Amino acid sequence: MLFAFRVAVAVTRGVENAVKNAARIGASAFALFLKSQRKWVSPPLTSTSALAFKSALTTYNFSPAHILPHGSYLLNLGNPSSEKRQQSYDCFLDDLKRAEQLGLQLYNFHPGSTTGGCTKEESIGWIAENVNRALKETSGVTIVLENMAGQGNVIGSTFEDLRDIIALVEDKSRVGVCLDTCHMFAAGYDIRTKDAWEETMASFDTIVGTQYLKAMHLNDSMGEVGCKKDRHDNLGRGKLGLKTFEHIVRDPRTQNLPLVLETPCDDEVDLGSVWRVEVGVLHELAADGRTQKTEVDVGLVMSAAGFESSGVAVPPIPVAVPGAVSTSGTVEVTPAADGVAAIVHPPAATSAAASTSAATVPPATDEQIVEMEARIKVAAEKANVKKAKPKPKATKAAAGGKRKRGAKKEESDEDEDEDEDEEE
């Protein structure tokens, strides 16, 4: 298995810096936002920047197949308001054209919401209609639907929702699914044991089809099964438990897929510190020969421009990984508000060997799991201690009696913010 940090870069600084930043930490794949994820309109991607991005991919030996851009949090292709739906579509299409311009193959986004103003069937129809429109206006990019936790009026918390959208997509060769473990669990899919995971994936295959699985988000859940709350936790720190991720990373169906960590990391001194521990543990669980000792070091990211403009020296770190010289995988890095890390299994040429290797290594013992969880706990407690900051007093005149619409804090804040954002 290989690692990547998702690098958030300001478009005005150049998306090519994401490639350089990932290379600096010894990564061989990455993910990024193609523009601000909290604005409807962003400066255009220049041809110069796009060419530099592609050139950097070649220079640093990155594969477009393992780069997983994430769509804007504002998107709601199923909004009952035709005006707001068009606004979402314009933003959506702009993202896809950026991905196309960069030669990328995947694009992940949240399907949408009824906002309580229409039936689920109507909203699903509009989502599929807009996906069809976008596919006709672009080429080469696969649109990846993310499953959701089920809060409020959100579409996509059930496999049936995903199936119904895909059923209406005309070009099924360019549509897929990203399964988020926290979202699955919160939506009612209990995947904690290997048997339960197998049962869930058998259901997914029957209802949606395993051929549509293009990526996963690996996150523990603060909430219990069926809580419908999207609250991510560090691996082994939530209700899923660390053992859950062992049978996931060893599953042949997850080989050669981007497996993205979106767990909390607010370390202002060493951003990514807990992710380094988590990805090290995932290597051990996957029994792929990598251990904590082979991890790369990560520097502080001070701004949305990433390492390139942070002023922090992050020198190239050569990492010798047996059997992984020219393969792809990543650990991603963004500022704290957007922080996620990811792992990517080896490509198809080596995934069979990796699966065989994992199959021959016995599962981790209870004692080993406890030790790994303790390691993550120490790193998480250190990384996620937030400094107390005085909160400015908001007057009713200034705030209108509520938080500003569209001011979504984090992707994991779906249950607090989704209705406001999706109604935009």
Which residues are catalytic, by number? 38, 70, 73, 110, 146, 180, 183, 217, 230, 232, 262
Identity at 209, one-letter amino acid code: G
Distance separating alpha carbons of residues 378 and 357, to the nearest angstrom: 30
Q: Is residue 11 within 8 Å of residue 42, measured between CB atoms?
A: yes
Task: Measure the CA–CA gap between 45 and 30, rounded to whole angstroms.
Answer: 19
Element (H, E) at 259: strand 258-261
The rounded distance, in Å, linking the Cα atoms of 48 and 164 is 40
Would you state the torsion angle of the CA atoms of residues 331, 333, 336, 337, taken in this order, to the nearest 10 degrees?
A: -90
Write down the H helix ranges in 30-153.
47-59, 82-101, 120-137
Give the residue among 98, 106, 176, 163 at the shortest CA–CA distance from 137: 98
Give the single-character DSSP code of 62. Answer: -
How many alpha carbons lie under 13 Å from residue 248 in its C-beta half-sphere?
30
Residues forming a β-bridge with 343:
3, 259
